[in-house]
Structures are given as structure tokens and as C-alpha cells.
Chain A
Amino acid sequence: MKFNTLLILLLLCLSCKSKNNKAETALAETWQTEFVVHKDFGVDLKVYDFNGLEPLLNKKDGKVHVVNFWATWCAPCVKELPYFEQLREAYADKNVEVLLVSLDFPHQYDTKLKPFIKNRKIQSEVVALDDADMNTWIPKVNESWSGSIPATIIYKDDERQFFEQSFTFEELEKQVKPFLN
């Protein structure tokens, strides 16, 4: 019950935010697009197709990479985001890097995604994946992925684990630890 109330509050909060942003955007759109991006949201968002994203999922730099596929409209994703932030913070000195790959719709980059990144003060790197041909790229992320989000990859060089599930901080930490050293 508590959880429901929280969710409803969260949804209300999201919807009121998006209304505000709509107003902001409407105002801002009378200016240059550049202005919307840099002045209003202050977020530089890199948008990739899968070919562009793929190297970020296959770095061979000896670091532990935690890559989470999410979207602002995905409630369980939004719920677990703080744990990824917490992980980044706690393990930054142990060569752990977090990458948040957003699957938000392109028409909502400015109205939803960028304001979300800014308002929640997300510190991990956020990029957007815009590639409609999902049947081609989902199996390249992981053969077993059915395509539901949230989904997470943890990898270091050639070692790799894939999770099609939600995490708590403890569960996430437990999965990352074997990759350290």
C-alpha cells in the first residue's frame, strides 16, 4: 500500500514536472534549438545508434563497466537508478564506471530525459540509444535478452554478466564484487 502511494506520488510528480517543462519548452522554442539544449536543460546528451554504442559495451581498458538500459517512463528502472548512482559513488576509486543507456523516445529527449537528468542530478554518464531495428541489436547486447527493461550488463575486458531484472543496491554490489581485482 505504501509502495502504491509512493508510486502515485512519483507519477503525479513526474506528470507535473513534464507539464512545467512543456511550458518551458514552448517558451524556449521561440528561440534557437541550441538555446533549449544548453540554457534550459544544461545537459549535453549523446545519441547513438547501435553501431555507435557497441564500442561502449566492449571496452578493453581493465575497468569494470556497469551498463544499465533504462527509460524515464519505466518505473522499475527509475526506482533502481539511485542504486547505480550509489554504486558509481562508492566504487569510483576501484575503477568501476557506470553508463546509463536511455531508451526514451527521441521526441522526449528535451521534454522528459534531459529535465530528468538535471532534476535528479544524475552523476553517471547518460547516453541515449536511438535505433528502431531492435531485433538486430538486442541479441548483440545479449543473446538471452528478451528485450524487457530494466536490463544490465556488468563487464571487465572479456568477462561479462547480463541481467534482465531489477536490482537493489546490495544485489548490484554483490554482482559487481567478483569483477574487482
Chain B
Amino acid sequence: MPLVLVVLAISAFTVNKTTVNSGYKIGDIAEDFSLENIDGKMVSLSDYKDAKGFIVTFTCNTCPFAVAYEDRIVALDKKYASKGYPVIAIMPNNTDIKPGDNLDAMKERAESKGFTFPYLIDSEQTVFPKYGATKTPHMFVLQKTKKGNVVKYIGAIDDNYKDAEAVTTKYVEDAVDALLAGKEVEQKETKAIGCSIKV
């Protein structure tokens, strides 16, 4: 009987977690983390002494929407890492449910796609809830300030998941360009379809 109660309590909690939209809002300070990279080393935002900010993306191997955006994430890092905004990719899924997202699979994917940025695993699944990431891919642009890393943009990479050529607005690029120019980000939040993060 107590076991049943525990199971009920856990399932109630899971439902709550997926329905309530908590997590960082624009203007919040994002906490730092220490997560394992595919090379076995731990990575934190504080390791990037010279960064002006970060393009944090929650992504994975197994979601077709995330896969559709892989090349564009690589392009973002190529364009902005040297300007002070490196890409930090975090894989948030429970790998018992999605074995295709485990660390070995992540390594393979990163090699075959030529990831130039860290591909971290949120193995305790504690980081993505803090951000309020609900799906892959889900982007967060942070600006480093004296107070900490301030959330400046949340949402999609651009306005066309199907066809990079048909994109008319590059939300993430526009946000980072604005920050680099010392301006306000105009479009601070956007929505996009993604695969729910597997808990």
C-alpha cells in the first residue's frame, strides 16, 4: 500500500512538472552548472573567461526537429564563438527512455556532425528544469554581466524548421547581434514545435 502511494505521488509530480511552465524568464540570472561533456570533462559557464555571453541549446540526437537544426547550431557556433558567444549544447533526456541519446550516442553524433562546441549531458536532469526548457531544441541566449549570466532570449532558432533556405527571421542571430551592438533584443521570446523532454 505505501508503495502505491509513492508511485501515485511520483506520477502526480511528473504531471505537474510537465504542465506548469516554470523556469527562467527574460531578465533572470541563469545559475551556472557543471555538466559532463562528451570528452569526459566537466564544463561550466564560468570556464569561459573571455565569453561575453552564451548560446545555450537544449538538444538531442533523437528528435527530428533537433536534428533538422543541427547544421544551423554548428553554424551559430562558427559565427559567434569568436565574437564571444559560444554555443553550449545540453542533452536533457532520460537515456533509459531514450537510449539513442546516451553519452556514447552523443559522442558519435557530435563527431559525425562536426560539433565545434561542448555537448553536455544533464544526467541528473536538474539543469533543464531550472531553465524551464520543455523540449528539444530549445534555445536560451545569455549575456554575461557583473551580476551573472542574464537571460536575454528564449525560444526558437529561426522561423522555418523545414528549410534553412526559406528562413526569413533568424531569432537567435538577431538577439546576439543586438547584444553585441549594445542594444536591446527586440524579439525576446518565440515558440517552436519540439519533442518533449523525456523524464
A interface, CB within 8 angstroms of B: 3-4, 7-8, 71, 73-76, 103, 105-106, 132-135, 138-139, 144-150, 163-166
Contact = CB atoms under 8 A, between A and B. Distances in A.
B99 A147 contact: no
A3 B94 CA distance: 13
Contact of A148 (B64, B134, B159, B190): B134
Q: How large is the interface on B (under 10, 10 to 19, 20 to 34, 35 or more residues)?
A: 20 to 34
Contacts of A3: 97
Given A106-B162, A135-B191, A73 B135 contact: no
Contacts of A164: 18-19, 134, 196
Contact of B192 (A7, A106, A144, A147): A147
B135 A147 contact: yes
Interface of B: 15, 18-19, 21, 63-64, 96-99, 134-135, 138, 155-156, 159-163, 166, 171, 190-198
B163 A132 contact: yes
B191 A132 contact: no
A134 B162 contact: no
Contacts of A74: 195-196
A164 B18 CA distance: 7
29 contacts: A4-B97, A4-B99, A7-B97, A74-B196, A75-B98, A76-B196, A103-B193, A105-B64, A132-B159, A132-B160, A132-B162, A135-B190, A135-B191, A144-B21, A146-B134, A146-B135, A146-B191, A147-B134, A147-B192, A147-B194, A148-B193, A148-B194, A148-B196, A149-B193, A149-B194, A149-B195, A149-B196, A164-B196, A165-B15
Contacts of B135: 146-148
Contacts of B159: 132-135
